[in-house]
Amino acid sequence: MNIILLGPPGAGKGTQAQKLVDERGMIQLSTGDMLRAAKTSGTEMGKKVAAVMDAGELVTDEIVIGLIEEKLQGDHGGGFIFDGFPRTLAQADALGALLKAYNTTLDAVIAMEVNDEVLVQRILGRAEEARAAGKEARADDNEESLKVRLMEYYKKTSPLIGYYHAKGQLEWVPGLGAIDEVSAAIAGVLDA
């Protein structure tokens, strides 16, 4: 099964993806992780990624698609979880074309529904707990930065909700429940 997890920063996509990896043997394709790994891989693609990232520039869609194509050529495990990709309509079209070229499908797009105010409080609480425990909180876990990240998400990524809804692939799950409740809702979608 191949799925996309959609949701704003802090909605719990990474936590849920990890549970799917552990419980269903799925392979998480996190663009951030893939870029960091490629940068140090020494491959041709890795050298491109390193050059762009070292220059402080944004990685192009072409590079991200190339990294995903490399993964599609390898082991498919229990299917792929696309995490942080696609972020734009152009990327969604490119992913569709890529999956078709590899004769594979996208089985579900799961959107994690959250209330922004509750989400901001959750992340600020998480940062506060980290500091109280003597750990370092994420540098961007502050109210101003969060609002910027949320706005960026809604501007660029929310069109995907309409895109996948129109294709009949979009499923909503409540994203602010307890971890196990959210997992159960996701499992309900995957097992339907």
* Helix (H) or strand (E) segment spanning residue 16: helix 13-24
Considering the candidates 19, 39, 48, 87, report the single residue annotated as catalytic.
Answer: 87
Nearest one of 68, 66, 25, 14 to 179, comparing CA atoms: 14
**Active site annotation includes 39:** no
**Active site annotation includes 131:** no
- The amino acid at residue 69 is E
Considering the candidates 24, 71, 122, 126, report the single residue annotated as catalytic.
Answer: 126
Considering the candidates 13, 19, 39, 48, report the single residue annotated as catalytic.
Answer: 13
Provide DSSP, 22-44. Answer: HHH--EEEEHHHHHHHHHTT-SH
**Active site annotation includes 13:** yes
Considering the candidates 24, 71, 122, 149, report the single residue annotated as catalytic.
Answer: 149
Considering the candidates 47, 138, 147, 167, report the single residue annotated as catalytic.
Answer: 138
**Active site annotation includes 36:** no
Nearest one of 99, 114, 95 to 31, comparing CA atoms: 95
E strands of 90-135, at which residues?
108-113
**Active site annotation includes 87:** yes
- Active-site residue list: 13, 87, 126, 138, 149
